[in-house]
Amino acid sequence: MSEAGHNANAQLKSIIDRVESVETEIKSLQTDRADIYTEARSNGFDVKALREIVRFRKQDAQKRAEHEAIVDTYKNSLGMT
Amino acid sequence: MSEAGHNANAQLKSIIDRVESVETEIKSLQTDRADIYTEARSNGFDVKALREIVRFRKQDAQKRAEHEAIVDTYKNSLGMT
Amino acid sequence: MSEAGHNANAQLKSIIDRVESVETEIKSLQTDRADIYTEARSNGFDVKALREIVRFRKQDAQKRAEHEAIVDTYKNSLGMT
Amino acid sequence: MSEAGHNANAQLKSIIDRVESVETEIKSLQTDRADIYTEARSNGFDVKALREIVRFRKQDAQKRAEHEAIVDTYKNSLGMT
DNA sequence: CACTGGAAAATGCCGC
DNA sequence: GCGGCATTTTCCAGTG
């Protein structure tokens, strides 16, 4: 194989390795998060509600208000008071 | 192969066929739903809000109230007023 | 309410109705699938293994599709369109 | 507020903090991955194809694990434990 | 009844 | 910018 071919090959291998390494770390952290929730449940917390809180806090306040406004409009249209 | 073996084999094939047939129908309906949302978007509706309405209506009122109560409790604990 | 408002209102109701109708059908089919598995179990089949077979077959089909996709990707990369 | 209430409150804060901390790390790693792909693209690689390779390798690993699982299932079905 | 694992929903991203 | 697709998250049923 040519030099160029070899280099591309080595580069490719490096890219895949780095991505897979990062993804391994991500998966590990996802497991950590799951563990936190599991521990919380065993301490009497409602995990579904906890997830909702985290989601809520993550949303930008402005966007959130706009979204709520639209949802309310739809609810009113449908008579869901 | 024995009669019993043959029958089990035929039964197995039948089960898999039926399941896959049902799953094909499910997938088709899921596509239909996606199409409805796409059409709604092109008519100026906010799809994310529509999804939330559908989710909301699906939840049992009792469960929904209990869930909201817990979320509110947590929000208060965290000073999220 | 204005004509436009009324129309939007009717459209909204229609969208929600159609989505909910489709979701009812989906749920019904999901129940059908569960019934097939239950019946299979009562005939001595291992449901977990059956599910795995269905999943494998789906993966194989998907893999074939993905193979086609990657071949196309490479063709495009090489200007072989 | 009661001691118990205070403790629950502190626990709640702790849970949310830990989850948000972990999610921050996850997001950072996801950005790292995106950067790797961006760099790869600037080196002439086809990012879509790279993603497919990573996905294939993940599927292969999973398939191997699933194969083991189904073999175990069959062994158990046959009393070969 | 908690926990894993698998199905479905939702979000986000990348192309055109 | 949006439409399609991939990833991620959420939910739920089965299992021990």
The per-residue pLDDT for range D37-71, each reduced to its tens digit, is 999 999 988 898 899 889 888 888 877 777 777 77
Task: Please tell me the predicted confidence (pLDDT) of residue D81.
Answer: 56
> In the predicted model, what is the mean pLDDT of residues A63-67?
90
Q: Cα D8 to the chain's mean position, in Å?
A: 30
Among D31, D11, D35, residue whose Cα is nearest residue D23: D31
Which residue in this structure is represented by tokens 């029958």? Answer: B7
pLDDT at C81 exceeding the cut of 60: no
Region A21-47: what's the mean pLDDT?
95
Predicted pLDDT of residue D2: 64
Tokens standing for residue B5: 């073996």
Confidence check: pLDDT of D36 > 80:
yes
- Residues of chain D in contact with residue A19, where contact means CB-CB under 8 angstroms, are 33, 36-37, 50, 54
Task: Confirm if A29 and D20 have CB atoms less than 8 A apart.
Answer: no
**Is the pLDDT assigned to residue D1 strictly greater than 70?**
no
For residue D78, what pLDDT band results from cuts at 50, 70 and 90?
A: low
Structure tokens at B9: 């084999």
pLDDT at residue B1 in the model: 59
pLDDT (average), residues A54-73: 91
| The predicted structure's pLDDT at residue A1 | 61
User: Which residues in range 31-50 of chain D are in contact with strand E, contact meaning CB within 7 A of any of its atoms?
Assistant: 34, 37, 41, 47-48
What per-residue confidence (pLDDT) applies to C4?
A: 65
The pLDDT score that the predictor gives to residue C64 is 77
Decide: CB of A30 under 7 A of nucleic strand F: yes
CA closest to E15 C1', residue: D48
Q: For A37-58, how does the pLDDT look when each residue is reduced to its tens digit (9 = 90+)?
A: 999 999 999 999 999 999 999 9
In this predicted structure, which of B10-14, B37-41, D1-5, D13-17 has the lowest mean pLDDT?
A: D1-5
Residue D71: closest CA among chain C residues belongs to which residue? C49
Q: What is residue C30's predicted lDDT score, i.e. its pLDDT?
A: 95
CA distance A63 to chain D (A): 20
Within 50-69 of chain D, which residues have Cβ less than 7 Å from strand E?
A: 66, 69
The per-residue DSSP string of D24-55 comes to HHHHHHHHHHHHHHHHHHHTT--HHHHHHHHH
- Of B10 and C75, the one with more pLDDT: B10
- Which residue numbers of D have CB closer than 8 Å to A's CBs? 11-12, 15-16, 18-20, 22-23, 25-26, 29-30, 32-33, 36-37, 40, 43, 45, 50, 53-54, 57-58
Please report residues of C whose CB lies closer than 8 A to that of B36. Answer: 15, 18-19, 22
Confidence of residue C78 (pLDDT cuts 50, 70, 90): low
B27 touches strand E (CB under 7 A): no
The whole-angstrom distance between B63's CA and the closest CA on chain D is 22
pLDDT band at C74 (very low <50, low <70, confident <90, very high): low
Q: Given this model, what pLDDT does residue C80 score? A: 65
With H, G, I as helix, E, B as strand and everything else as coil, classify residue A59: coil
**Is residue D5 predicted with pLDDT exceeding 60?**
yes
- Segment among B61-65, C53-57, C72-76 with least mean pLDDT: C72-76
pLDDT one-digit tens code per residue, B24-79:
999 999 999 999 999 999 999 999 999 999 999 998 888 899 999 999 999 999 99
CA distance A21 to A25: 7
Segment A23-28 shows an average pLDDT of 94
What torsion, rounded to 10 degrees, do the Cα atoms A51, C26, A72, A66 define? 60
- Select from B17, B22, B23 the residue whose CB has the most chain C CBs within 10 Å, as the one to mutate to test that interface: B22
Percentage of chain C surpassing pLDDT 70?
83
The mean-pLDDT minimum among A24-33, B31-40, C66-75 falls in C66-75
Chain D CB contacts of A14 below 8 Å? none
Higher-scoring residue by pLDDT: C40, C75: C40
Q: What is the pLDDT of residue A76?
A: 94
User: Mean pLDDT in chain C?
Assistant: 85
For C2, list phi and psi in degrees, rounded to 5.
-70, 165
